[in-house]
Chain A
Amino acid sequence: MTRRYWLSSLVLSLVAGLGLDGTAVAGDWIHWRGPEETGHARDTGLPDTWDPFQAGKNNLIWKVPLGYRSTPIIMGDKMYVTAAVGDVPRPQSETEKLHTAERVVCMNTKDGSVVWTRQFNVFLADIVTSRLGWAPLTADPETKKIYAHTSGGFFVCLDGNTGKTIWEHQLTEEFGRVTGYGGRVAGPVCDSGLVIVAIAQGSWGSLARGAGRLVAFDKDTGAIAWWGETPFDLIGTFYSNPVVANLGGQRVIITGSADGGLHAFQVRTGKRVWSYKFGAGVINPSPVVVGNYILCSHGEENPDGGDIGRVICLDGTKIKEGKPEVVWQFSDGTRFGLASPATDGKYLYVPSDGGKLYCFDIFKEPTGGAKKTNKFIWKYNFGTTTRGSPVVADNKIFISEVNAKFVIIKLEGKKAPEKAHVVQFKAPPPPEGEGQVEVNSTPAIANGRVYFGTRDESFCIGTKDGKAGEVPASKNAENPVAAGATPAQIQLFPADIAVKPGDSVEFKLRAYTADGVLIPDAMLKAEWSLPVPVVPKKEASGPPKAKEGTEAKEAPPEKKAEPAPKTAGGPPALDATIDAATGKITVNAKKPAQNGVVMAKVGNLTATARVRVMPQIPYKQDFAMVPVGAVPGGWVNTQGKYTVVEDGGKKVLFKVNTNPRPPVARAYAYITAPNSTGYTIEADIKGVIQKEKLPDAGVMANRYTMYLDGKSDEKGQQSVRVISWEALPRIDVGVPFKYESGVWYRMKLTVEVGEKEAVVKGKVWDRTKPEPEKWTIEYKDPLPNREGAAALYGYVTNAEAGAPGSEIFYDNVVVTPNKK
């Protein structure tokens, strides 16, 4: 059953298994772009002007001192928003920095009073305070569940009434999710019983290659229904939030991605329907759908060169060779890359990154022959910087301007606007406030009220005449399942699961039409097998390339031969028993960890599910049983970034040192489950100087990393450090330690989690010597990371294809439970 547009007093009767587009009053704002997912609200009586000074006067309904940069969602009488903890209205003190986190807040729409707050620690992310709370939330109005994708990599399902966790995933530690420094994290959408989110990640086996992917979770249990992969090379992190629409009889989820493409996947199966690569950089804006048209923009170079940036209109029903037809496009060197467009169904409003609003007539005949140019009708200058997206409503545009402004632009159809109401925010006077009040929020509009936030405050504005409008039904429907339809595709559910040694899993085999609609009661007889997992198309670490560029005048110094192959092999077939009739598997209880796949074959159709058997504590790994070129079973984010090699006649793990891309150059090899706690990790680690540099190398427990720092301080002193969320940095403490090239050290790290704090204790010593009694480093964290995967850490800052960087070797990894 699908209810994307919740009607509080009206129960929709839905065609079984089919999703319908919205059909009635939109009293809620569940998707970040509203009921039509287009940045359009049909509410009327919205304010032309307002004054932030006093609630109850001049159209200000309420304000509370809780700032945010995202978009609130409105469900019934509650507003939900994700925000930073510690983003004070001035630069942070060290204490504030130490307590910085992220939160999901539930507020009363009547007065902004807080109903509940859930706080999430941040770690393993390159995001900093002012960019926390980036990804908008979504909800399932049927069950009042809230879904959040946090900067720290949690994907959580919360009870909308209480804030209690119903289920959660740790996307970083389970699936090798990466964040960029920019904060770019995409928000989820909820549709067809699934909640779907897009991330840049690389984990293991067929998903080891770093790529932009969508992952769909069962909205009630969090079990994975499918992974959808974008086909082109990963360029960077991105934050296009998907939309869902019926196009050409199929229900599809459409998103811009990390590969410069716009992609459509069937919502229920994750089958990619089409892709259109239109950017040489990542696509951050979210598309909007008008009838059969998909409209989107970007602010990067174009794949064919020429001007920077583009606005496109594609026909989602005219697909040729996997690509939709271009209806029109616009490109004049303006960047449209950081906010998303809005449309009222006739005009498209696209903000440039530089604070100008461009208006296009969607249905105007394009000119310019094959170029299909649609010239903009008008451009309105409302500022210098745009990050938040516009909402069009009541013949007005509501939009944030980053430099402390909220702007209401009065629309005059085809004529360029002449009037705008601008509120300029100022920081409270020092010492309470300092610096410019950033305004990044995209407004939400519900029941005749406009909700948005600034760095410092939440606002609700409206007039006494404000009211919700009617959302018309979409004309597009899905093709229904014909009676006696034969399956065109099959899937295993869950499609990806993490289990313990000895566990059994029963997969559900589901059949779908070619359009991706579930065929209920399909009688499927499958042949089940445990094949060797497919090796990814391209390894995260590519083959060695000749060094490019101008050659040095003098011959470069002779480079040392590489000690290891650059590609790491995928896992072997799953070691498990399988029931030929039901497909129920039981993984070998004696094998401490592994990963593999299960396959079901029905006629010519096949479906596979991924199974990770997670290393359990206690756990030992000396790499003796791992083939050279492979990685240990059950580890995540390791394949392609680490590889087993022979060193001194023994097999050890080696950090790939020929790929300078940040997610490979600096990588964690996650070993145990994300909810591991109360353990100690030990490992032998050896760093070797290359090109005058020692690598950073260490171990992680509970999201605290202890590492040997390859650099020295201003006095030439080296150190061993404990860090957590180093991009802030929330924690970065060090003690002097002499770290020599070529020496095997033993590192030991343990975390004791107490009620209010965590005590992190680490030791490091020359492994040929006895273990010292005293801890080398101890640290007490008042904002404890209560759990987290045990992991190895390696960072080669001077990695280079053809000129390998510093070397890191790991051996004798042991994870043991702490003594009670």
Chain B
Amino acid sequence: MCFRSRLCVVAGIAIAATTLIVALQPSPARVVADEPKSVSTAPTAGSNGVGKGDHYMFGNSPERNFVNLNPVSLSHEFPTSPDDEKVHILGSRVKWKVTLGSRAYGGPTIAGGKVFVGTNNDNPRNKRDRGKPTDDNPDGPPLDKGVLMCFDEKDGKFHWQMIHDKLDSGQVHDWPHEGLCSTPIFDGGRIYYCSNRCEVVCLNANKVEGQNDGFQNEKYKTPTDADVIWSYSMMDEIKVFPHNMTCCSPLIVGDLLFVITANGVDENHINIPAPEAPSFICMSKKSGKLIWKSNLPGRAIMHGQWSNPCYGVFGGKAQVIFPGGDGYLYGLEPETGKMIWKFDANPKSAKYELGAKGTKSDFIGTPVIYKEKIYIGTGQDPEHLEGVGHFWCIDPAGKEGDISSELVTDSSKFPPATKVNPNSGMVWHYGGTDTRPYSKRDNIFSRTMSSACIVDDILYIGELAGYVQCLDAKTGKKFWQWDTKSNIWGSCYYVDGKVLLANEDGDLFFFKHDKNPEVLDEIAVGSAAAVVAEKKAKAAGKDESDVRKEARDAYDEAATGVREKVKAKYLLQQVEVSEPIRSTPAMANGVLFVMTEKTLYAINPK
């Protein structure tokens, strides 16, 4: 849906006080090359050179669920800081660490004995990637680049790096110093990712010095530069206009590679310069040739497109799930790109508006598939702040067309009239505005950049606002929440009966996973206590201001009590890494990898 005030005036004078809601007219996907169409089997641990204990892609499976069910052990005991015994640090648990750039958002991907991370060039590893020497800096200042680095999994030894120059257009396409934000996928000795230049890139993961397979004319060819197999410029080839950054972490299923192109708005944030350019594409992983393209969200893109596709089989039907920049989730046929269904992740009364008050969002988090259902929360560019969010569980099996929970019956007014969709694929919804009396937060669930982590039918999801929520994956019922008190960009990660999560302030949390969690909802308890106190104060004839104060105090006391219980029961550890963390921890081959904005840590299991 598009609520922009683009009025088509046929003739005469139009008064722009009305809204024309332009019906979405998805253009059908176009198959453009006769390439392998078989989906065959997705690479999983143990195939295509991926080791059983590896963490080979964003979410470590095409379902993108950040759950590690390998029989590994990971202790949550950490040494205390020499300065303050109440503070726990990584300390002696660090096996090795390497310095990255000043921001690291891509990865880590750990596979084939290597670790791959996307970062920037603010700690250059090649003299060439520095500017002219200055008085202050005889080495020359670092040049801004997107960098994919490859390290040895054993000891962190630096093997090679892929350097991508920045686009001349600057922040509108390629945000300064943002580095390389795509998490690479490892497959058969190759890694695949999207570069800051809006390219899909395939590299030789096992490059040894002097090797140059595939593409021969790499721009940079010193011994530590990468070996490019193929690369595909989405700006040149399919006229994509990426907004701010291209960061999709590609999905590979059989021979097919799926990418979200980052097509979006321009500097003034309304105009979509390339509405015909595709948002979702499918390529041959071997040749880098385009197989099909689809511009489904087209003109309905609100901002940019920074989420990732996932893959699953629903009711016997294989589907690729694409989160669109219009806030719809799309189920597409993997071989053809044909739309099977779409699901609106925003209420029909929602509106996209910059800042915390906008109620309509798109997706930053990735859809996760668990037991043939799809789980995703809405979110936005974090610069748009922490507004209202919605979390959905969707069952698309056997469904086609619009499977949103509601349908618009009259769009001539706003909010539009709606009805329940008889074809709805919604299993449950969690979120929206919190209207419970004295609730401190505006929202039951706010915007998220995280993907769900689901194990034993228990779902963990972070919010940008710093909360982690524990829900029942079957019903959406809330068990408990914990406020980490800083923004969360990464996702919860399950391993060895524990749920790990890191935040922007550099805290790494360990929560205890419980198959049957206790309901410890501090807001419900606080609100109930406030209502009781309110009644009591009113009965005592106090004035409204004092009534409210007593109710609020009662809320605080009750909520604090619940918080203490959650802490005692579920919070195992808080480690102060003290460097902003915007990635998801991952455990591979018995070692925990934590990537902060500037350092990659390999951490011993105990």
Chain A contacts to B: CB under 8 angstroms: 51, 53-54, 57-58, 89-95, 97-98, 126, 128-131, 180-182, 235-236, 280-281, 300-308, 321, 332-334, 354-356, 381, 383-385, 402-404, 424, 426-427, 429-430, 434-438, 455, 545, 548-553, 556, 659-662, 665-666, 691-693, 711-715, 719, 726-736, 759, 774, 777-782, 797-801
Contact = CB atoms under 8 A, between A and B. Distances in A.
Given A98-B16, A661-B168, A735-B11, A797 B487 contact: no
A435 B5 contact: no
A732 B4 contact: yes
B326 to A, nearest CB: 12
Nearest to B298: A714
B354 A780 contact: no
A301 B102 contact: yes
Interface of B: 4-19, 22, 24-25, 27, 101-103, 120-124, 135-137, 141-142, 144, 164-173, 176-177, 195, 197, 199, 201, 215, 217-219, 228, 230-233, 236-237, 239, 241, 266-276, 288, 298-299, 351-359, 383, 385-388, 414, 433, 435, 440, 442-443, 446, 465-466, 485-487, 504-505, 544-545, 548-549, 578-580, 596-598
A665 B169 contact: yes
7 contacts: A94-B19, A354-B487, A385-B386, A403-B385, A426-B442, A427-B442, A729-B270
B17 A95 contact: yes
A711 B275 contact: yes
| Complex A-B, nearest 7 residue pairs according to Cβ-Cβ distance, in ascending order | A435-B357, A660-B169, A91-B351, A130-B355, A436-B356, A548-B165, A797-B273
Contact of A731 (B5, B351, B358, B505): B5
B231 A552 contact: yes
Contacts of B164: 549-550
Contacts of B485: 381, 383-384
Contacts of A306: 102, 122-123
A693 B218 CA distance: 29
Contacts of A129: 353-354
B12 A778 contact: yes
Most buried by A among B218, B270, B386, B435: B270
A94 B17 contact: yes
Contacts of B231: 550, 552-553
B123 A779 contact: no
A53 B544 contact: yes
B476 to A, nearest CB: 22
Given A280-B141, A403-B465, 8 more contacts: A281-B177, A305-B101, A333-B580, A548-B166, A551-B218, A714-B27, A781-B16, A797-B273
A300 B102 CA distance: 10
B257 to A, nearest CB: 15
A333 B168 contact: no
A436 B385 contact: yes
B9 A304 contact: no
A301 B178 CA distance: 10
Nearest to A422: B440
Given A57-B545, A305-B142, A429-B435, A711 B355 contact: no
A116 B485 CA distance: 42
Given A280-B176, A711-B273, A385 B385 contact: yes
A651 B499 CA distance: 69
A653 to B, nearest CB: 23
Contacts of B24: 714
Nearest to A664: B169
Contacts of B288: 553
Contacts of A661: 168-170
Contacts of A89: 357
Contact of B123 (A305, A712, A714, A798): A305
- Interface-central residue, A280, A301, A691, A715, by most chain B CB under 10 Å: A301
A57 B195 CA distance: 57
Contacts of A302: 102, 122
B9 A777 contact: yes
A302 B269 CA distance: 28
A727 B169 contact: no
Nearest to B597: A333
B465 to A, nearest CB: 6
B102 A550 contact: no
Given A51-B549, A304-B141, A384-B386, A438 B7 contact: no
Contacts of B351: 91-92
A303 B353 contact: no
A280 B580 contact: no
A3 B82 CA distance: 53
A455 B544 CA distance: 24
Nearest to A331: B102
Contact of A715 (B25, B122, B137, B387): B25
B270 A556 contact: no
A5 to B, nearest CB: 35
B11 to A, nearest CB: 7
A441 B195 CA distance: 38
Contact of A304 (B14, B18, B136, B217): B136
Contacts of B169: 660-662, 665, 799-800
B16 A733 contact: yes
A697 to B, nearest CB: 14
A549 B201 CA distance: 12
Given A126-B269, A308-B102, A715-B25, A780 B13 contact: yes
Contacts of A97: 5
Contacts of A307: 102, 598
Residue from A334, A549, A727 with most neighbouring chain B CB atoms (10 Å): A549
Most buried by A among B7, B195, B466: B7
A176 to B, nearest CB: 16
A26 B232 CA distance: 63
B353 A91 contact: yes
A455 to B, nearest CB: 7
Nearest to B131: A303
A303 B131 CA distance: 10
Contact of A552 (B16, B236, B440, B544): B236
Residue of A128, A308, A429, A735 contacting most chain B CB atoms (<10 Å):
A308
Contacts of A799: 169
Nearest to B169: A660
B9 A778 contact: yes
Given A94-B18, A435-B357, A551-B219, A778 B201 contact: no
Contacts of A552: 231, 233, 236-237
A53 B6 CA distance: 41
Contacts of A402: 356, 385
A356 B505 CA distance: 9
A272 B358 CA distance: 43
Contact of B176 (A92, A281, A303): A281
B203 to A, nearest CB: 10
Nearest to A777: B9
A801 B169 CA distance: 9
A434 B168 CA distance: 40
A129 B358 CA distance: 11
A780 B270 contact: no
B107 to A, nearest CB: 18
Contacts of A51: 545, 548-549
Given A356-B505, A435-B356, A550-B219, A797 B274 contact: yes
Contacts of A385: 385-386, 487
B363 to A, nearest CB: 19
A321 B136 CA distance: 12
Contacts of B465: 384, 403
A354 B505 contact: yes
B16 A434 contact: no
Contact of B268 (A404, A435, A726, A798): A726
A714 B299 contact: yes
Nearest to A379: B505
Contacts of A403: 356, 385-386, 465
Contacts of B274: 693, 711, 797
A278 to B, nearest CB: 10
